[in-house]
A and B are shown apart, each in its own frame.
Chain A
Amino acid sequence: MSETICTIKNVDKHFGHFQALNHVSLTIGKGDIYGLIGENGAGKTTLMRLMTGLSPLQTGDIELLGEHVGHASRSLSRIGAVIESPALFEKLTVAQNLKVCAIQHGQGSQQEIDETIAFVGLTAKRNTKAKNLSLGQRQRLGLGLAILPHPDFLILDEPINGLDPTGIMEFRALLQRLNQEQHVTILISSHILTELYQVSTRFGILHHGTLIKELTKAELDEANQAGLLITVDDTAKTARLLDQAHITPFQVQDRTHILIMQKDADAGLINHTLVSGGIVVEDFSHRASSLEDYYTHLLQEAEGAVK
């Protein structure tokens, strides 16, 4: 089993009578990019604040890099985080903000500061005061502050909020580089589901403070398969014909629908095969993988379970 970076067990959090988190348990393995999905108010930020010790733990247990949160602060020095919005010294420049962070952590040479500035793409802005940065540049500086001390684990709360499409693409590339080149484990929250799908390797879905689903990207893809959806009069016979013609994999969805789970399935060949075999093909349509559909479906199930 791979090394575990974070284990959360039965964590509850109340604000007065409001229950923000309800028995949340999850684990994040080394090397994961864990996407935490949830609507506004689902409890994503609360969970991240508990993990970083910014919010006192009430019940349950959080183990971060082998230490219990709240008992020791040593593990905190091995994580980087941007919770809610980047906390910057507005009157200091990009380079000066990073210098303060480097001194606080007792590390970070000028060269490392320069490398971090280059890594987050702020070289041209190194002498610009934080108050004069755009939203995207602030997010990059926040990320720079979080990664400067070479963390093992990075916690990012809605980091792509407010970014333009180019900014989102660049930020996504930054995260993937961090994960692949520096082997940083990342927990990232967002309500922009397609973006999380692009970058994450595992997912946790929070709804009204409850973790309703935890799954890998492969499991999500399987549950939410893209491909060619065929409407036929006889799915059993169609399945036999597809099997004989080695047009696989496919999935019988119901009495009239079969999903060919290939992104580039040859509709002409399939149509010829089926019609030649005596099948009445009523319709062909491409079905895209949609995290939103899956998510909406899960929420409806969760709401149904509550009712």
Chain B
Amino acid sequence: MINQMRADLYRQFHTLGYYLVVLATIALSALIVGFKSVGGVMIQTDTTNLDKLASKSWTAIESLQAATLSSSLLVYLYIGLFVILIGYEFSQKTYKNTLLSGISRLQFIFAKYVTLVVDMLVLIFIYYLTALAVNGLAGRSLGENLGTLLGNTATESLTIAFFISAVFSLAIVLLVATGSNVIASVFIALWPILIGVIEALTQWNWLKYFDVTGAAENIALGTLKVDALWPYLGTCIGLVLLSLVGSAAVIRHREL
């Protein structure tokens, strides 16, 4: 499994698309903080807090908050990573080589997922570091000591990477079942919107646990406290585990 992850990372670092994703991540963060603008997929977000944030005098704290509020956009950027790391294996059937290396189906899927999470973690950390750097370049103050800020950045990177990874784990099931990059990518793009719209239309409150990008926004706005975070995390862990085991089961019973 470790060998598979190393092979994927080697392949990724020799793919132009990966560097484009890195550049896009940096550019997005720089634009948000540089222009003091907040954007993303927001279906039921209370705009009062957003207005307050926009009108404030920004320090690094507000910059990081804005970056988190816009993190739903990262989902779209990381579709590229998903295609490079996992989608390509299925569209070009290179998994035939991979599965002949002696790796089990479950290890194969887990290796792909973990590599994706590690990648997203690094990129989201770069996203936040860019926010801090642009904040500094714009001559704004830190508003907090650097150690605390970096600690918060690491925690938020981890949380958001994990939340986003839940959507990607569901996309892996679709990719494995259909073999279609398009279906899996469209699913990733639509999930944040669909969940938000269905929740708004039906008022099914429990759907909020599946709204992973919405959860990230609420963390940034401070409307979701750490105590209330556990059901979200639990749902995410459940989704990820079910998706990965389900994907492995589908591969095992599918004609590859």
A113 to B253, CA, bound (A): 34
Q: Report if A103 contacts B (CB, 8 A).
A: yes
Q: Report if B139 contacts A (CB, 8 A).
A: no
Are A54 and B99 within 8 A (Cβ)?
Answer: yes
Are A92 and B14 within 8 A (Cβ)?
Answer: yes
Are A145 and B97 within 8 A (Cβ)?
Answer: yes
Are B100 and A81 within 8 A (Cβ)?
Answer: yes
Q: Report if B92 contacts A (CB, 8 A).
A: yes
Which of B7, B98, B253 has the most CB atoms of chain A within a 10 A radius of its CB? B7
Interface stretch, picked from B32-40, B63-71, B101-109, B122-130, is B101-109
Are A106 and B15 within 8 A (Cβ)?
Answer: no
Are A99 and B255 within 8 A (Cβ)?
Answer: no
Partner of A103, one of B3, B16, B95, B254: B3
A101 to B6, CA, bound (A): 11
28 contacts between A and B (CB under 8 A): A52-B99, A52-B100, A54-B96, A54-B255, A56-B254, A73-B99, A73-B104, A76-B99, A77-B102, A79-B100, A84-B93, A87-B95, A89-B92, A96-B11, A100-B10, A100-B11, A101-B7, A101-B101, A103-B6, A103-B7, A103-B10, A104-B3, A104-B4, A104-B7, A104-B98, A104-B101, A105-B102, A106-B3
Given contact pairs A73-B102, A73-B104, A81-B96, A105 touches B3 in the complex (Cβ within 8 A): yes
Q: Report if B94 contacts A (CB, 8 A).
A: yes
Are B15 and A99 within 8 A (Cβ)?
Answer: no
- Sort A-B residue pairs by CB-CB distance and give the 6 closest, nearest first: A77-B102, A103-B7, A104-B101, A54-B256, A87-B94, A104-B7
A211 to B11, CA, bound (A): 41
A129 to B227, CA, bound (A): 52
A205 to B15, CA, bound (A): 44
CB-based nearest B residue for A102: B7
Q: Taking the nearest CB of chain B, how far is it from the CB of A281, in angstroms?
A: 59
- Chain A neighbourhood of B14, CB < 8 A: 91-92, 96
Q: Report if B225 contacts A (CB, 8 A).
A: no
Interface string of B16-28 (1 = CB under 8 A from A): 1000000000000
- Chain A neighbourhood of B98, CB < 8 A: 104
Q: Report if B252 contacts A (CB, 8 A).
A: yes
Binding site for B on A (CB under 8 A): 49, 52-56, 73-74, 76-77, 79-81, 83-84, 87-92, 96, 99-101, 103-106, 145, 149
CB-based nearest A residue for B253: A56
A77 to B104, CA, bound (A): 11
Q: Is the interface of A mostly helix, strand, loop or mixed?
A: loop
- Chain B neighbourhood of A49, CB < 8 A: 255-256
A209 to B22, CA, bound (A): 51
- Chain A neighbourhood of B104, CB < 8 A: 73
Given contact pairs A73-B102, A76-B102, A87 touches B97 in the complex (Cβ within 8 A): yes
- Chain B neighbourhood of A149, CB < 8 A: 101
Are B6 and A76 within 8 A (Cβ)?
Answer: no
Q: Report if B88 contacts A (CB, 8 A).
A: yes
A101 to B95, CA, bound (A): 11
Are A53 and B99 within 8 A (Cβ)?
Answer: yes
Q: Taking the nearest CB of chain A, how far is it from the CB of B64, in angstroms?
A: 36
A87 to B103, CA, bound (A): 17
Q: Taking the nearest CB of chain A, how far is it from the CB of B81, in angstroms?
A: 15
A90 to B101, CA, bound (A): 20
CB-based nearest A residue for B16: A91
A53 to B253, CA, bound (A): 10
A99 to B6, CA, bound (A): 11
A92 to B18, CA, bound (A): 13
Partner of B97, one of A74, A90, A96, A101: A101
- Chain B neighbourhood of A145, CB < 8 A: 97
- Chain B neighbourhood of A84, CB < 8 A: 93
A127 to B31, CA, bound (A): 38
Q: Taking the nearest CB of chain B, how far is it from the CB of A128, in angstroms?
A: 14
Which of B6, B252, B256 has the most CB atoms of chain A within a 10 A radius of its CB? B256
A83 to B97, CA, bound (A): 10
- Chain A neighbourhood of B15, CB < 8 A: 91
Q: Taking the nearest CB of chain A, how far is it from the CB of B172, in angstroms?
A: 19
Given contact pairs A54-B256, A56-B253, A56-B255, A92 touches B11 in the complex (Cβ within 8 A): yes
CB-based nearest B residue for A155: B100
Which of A55, A87, A99 has the most CB atoms of chain B within a 10 A radius of its CB? A87
Are B100 and A100 within 8 A (Cβ)?
Answer: no
Q: Taking the nearest CB of chain A, how far is it from the CB of B114, in angstroms?
A: 15
- Chain B neighbourhood of A77, CB < 8 A: 100-102
